[in-house]
Structure 1
Amino acid sequence: MMADPTPRPEIWRPHVTVACVVTDAGRYLMVEEEVAGRLVCNQPAGHLEDGETLAAAAVRETLEETGWTVELQHLIGVQQWRSSEHGEAVIRFSFAARAVEHDAGRPLDTGIRRALWMTRDEIAGLGERLRSPLVLTSIDAWLAGQRLPLSSLSWVRGGSRE
């Protein structure tokens, strides 16, 4: 059978990202990072890598950006947003996590200036310095008690191609 020579339209693919809301005594773990020449604040967050589970990506990104090893507790929710930074669609999986151990000597990802703990009011006071509105969206969802079991996510290995 010959291959179909008909050009196919490009398939739309949003950026898939993960983020962690890590809390300790009313403070939240944040990162200060340089993005496109601006100094902004964000939760530990980043892109899902090929072959990686969402949960593993969230733990990895938090360690790489803050030096903190975390234990995921819940899925807070999934947010859909069009980035004002690059104009593309983002699907973000936000997790609640507990800080387990800190490696203060671990080098942080490129662009990350420092990790810091801030209250919700301090975070809200950052205004335009927040990397995205998803930071407060996920904190507020967590504060409102939104918690989904981690078992609501699954990884299906293998399968057939369609």
Structure 2
Amino acid sequence: MDRFRPSVTVAAVIARAGRYLLVEEETPEGLMLNNPAGHLEQGESPVEAVVREALEETARHFVPEAFLGVYLARFLRPARSEDVTYVRLAFSGSVGEAIAGRALDQGIQRTLWMSEAELAACTDRHRSPLVLQCVRDHAAGRRLPLDAVNAHPSLHQPSVKQA
């Protein structure tokens, strides 16, 4: 029997003047909206990962200020026989202006600022149902301390390769 292996991702929820920073990205399902987000990589903490992903996808430095929570969603893509459960660690924080000349990550078409209402009006374009849920939780005032996510120093040790 195969062991259940969810895919761990991080997401940045960034608000400014009542609007949220989103990315528009190419996916197998077409052009979709998402929070700046991506996969946790081996050897990095969730906070390091969300800072990296936000920079790659928005060309802006992200400063995490709070932990929003842990979110789970299942994604079924019959055309590719994919059945993936995502575990999303969401963080809220702030960004500066876009870094001039810095390219967006592959597949990211643009960044845009949308209100919660604008985002709720186009759920068919969301990469995941977690996009709106994270924004709604942020808008409702959910904030947990960053140290609610503990990353043990062993994460930064070199990996051991077996012969």
TM-score (norm 2): 0.87
Residues 10 and 155 (structure 1), Cα distance of their counterparts in 2 relative to 1, 3 Å cut: same
**AA partner of residue 3 (structure 2):** I
Residue number in structure 2 paired with 1:110: 106
Match of 1:136 among 116, 128, 132: 132
Q: What is the percentage of aligned positions where both structures have the same residue?
A: 44
Tell me by how many angstroms 1:157 deviates: 2.5
**1:1-162 → structure 2 map (5 Å cutoff):** 9-85=1-77, 86-158=82-154
CA distance in 1, matches of 2:6, 2:29: 24
Q: CA offsets, 1:1-37, max 9 Å, x none?
A: xxxxxxxx43221000000110110110000001015
CA distance in 2, matches of 1:106, 1:153: 30
CA distance in 2, matches of 1:22, 1:97: 6
SS of 1:13's equivalent in the other structure is coil
Count how many residue pairs are aligned between Structure 1 and Structure 2. 151
CA distance in 1, matches of 2:118, 2:76: 22
Q: CA offsets, 1:39-66, max 9 Å, x none?
A: 1010100000001100010011010001
- After TM superposition, what 4+ stretches of structure 1 lie above 6 angstroms from structure 2? none
Structure (1 or 2) with the larger CA radius of gyration: 1
Q: CA offsets, 1:111-159, max 9 Å, x none?
A: 1000111111111111211111101111111111111100111111239
> Could you list the runs of 5+ residues in structure 1 that have no partner in the other structure?
1-8
SS of 1:50's equivalent in the other structure is coil
